[in-house]
Amino acid sequence: MIEREDIERSQARTLDELLVAVEGVAIARQGGIGQPTSVYVRGGESDHVLWMIDGVRIGSVTTGIPALQDLPLDTVERIEIVRGPRSSLYGADAMGGVIQIFTRRGGNGPASLRATTGSNGTRQLAAAAGLGDEAAWLDLKVSHLETDGINSCLGRPFPPGGGCFTSEPDRDPYRNTSVNVAAGYRADSGATFEAFAQRADARVAFDSSFLNQSDLINQAAGVKWVTEPASGWRSTVTAGRSWDESTSFRNGDTTRSVFDSSRDSFSWQNELQFAGSGALMLGADWLRDRVDSDVRYDRAARDNRAAFAQYSWAAGAQSLAVAARLDDNEQFGSNATGSFGWGWRFANGVQAYASVGTAFKAPSFNELYYPGFSNAKLDPERATTREFGFKRRLAALRWSVSAYQTRVDDLIAFDVATFNPQNIAKADLQGLEGSVEWQRGPWRLEQTLAWLSAEDRGSGANRGRELPRRPAWTGRTALAWTGSEQFDLGASVQFASRRYDDLANTRRLGGYAVLDVTGSWRLSARTELQLRLANALDRRYETATLYPALGREVFLTLRHRAPR
* Number of domains making up the chain: 1
The pLDDT of residue 483:
84
* Residue 308: alpha-carbon gap to chain centroid: 24
Residues of the chain under the 70 pLDDT cut: 106-108, 157-162, 252, 416-417
Contacts (Cβ under 8 Å, ≥6 apart) of 253: none
What is the residue-wise DSSP string for 177-197? Answer: EEEEEEEEEE-TTS-EEEEEE
End-to-end CA distance of the chain: 29
The pLDDT of residue 158:
65
What is the residue-wise DSSP string for 51-70? Answer: EEETTEEE--TTTSS--GGG
Give me the domain span that covers residue 449.
2-561
Q: How far is CA 466 from CA 173, 368, 508, in A?
A: 34, 24, 11
The counts of H helices and E strands in the chain are 4, 33
**Residue 21, helix vs strand vs coil:** coil
CATH code where residue 275 lies: 2.40.170.20
H helix or E strand, kind and range, residue 5 = helix 4-10
Contacts (Cβ under 8 Å, ≥6 apart) of 40: 25, 26, 27, 28, 46, 469, 470
Judge contact between 286 and 265, C-beta under 8 A: yes
- Closest Cα partner for 554 from 536, 541, 527, 529? 536
pTM greater than 0.85: yes
Q: Which amino acid is at 103?
A: T
**Residue 504, helix vs strand vs coil:** coil
How many Å apart are CA 206 and CA 33, to the nearest integer?
11
**Residue 101, helix vs strand vs coil:** strand
Region of 419 (left: φ > 0; alpha: ψ -120 to 50; beta: rest) is: left
- Closest Cα partner for 514 from 475, 472, 471? 475
Region of 107 (left: φ > 0; alpha: ψ -120 to 50; beta: rest) is: left
Region of 270 (left: φ > 0; alpha: ψ -120 to 50; beta: rest) is: beta
Paired strand residues for 354: 342, 388
Paired strand residues for 301: 290
The pLDDT of residue 344:
96
DSSP symbol at 501: S
Question: Hey, which bits of 168-277 come out as E strands?
Answer: 174-186, 192-205, 213-230, 233-249, 256-273
- Closest Cα partner for 1 from 400, 283, 317, 384? 400
How many Å apart are CA 230 and CA 408, to the nearest integer?
42
The pLDDT of residue 108:
59
Contacts (Cβ under 8 Å, ≥6 apart) of 536: 515, 516, 517, 552
How many Å apart are CA 67 and CA 33, to the nearest integer?
12
DSSP symbol at 334: E
Report CA torsion sign: 28, 240, 242, 77: negative
How many Å apart are CA 380 and CA 362, to the nearest integer?
5
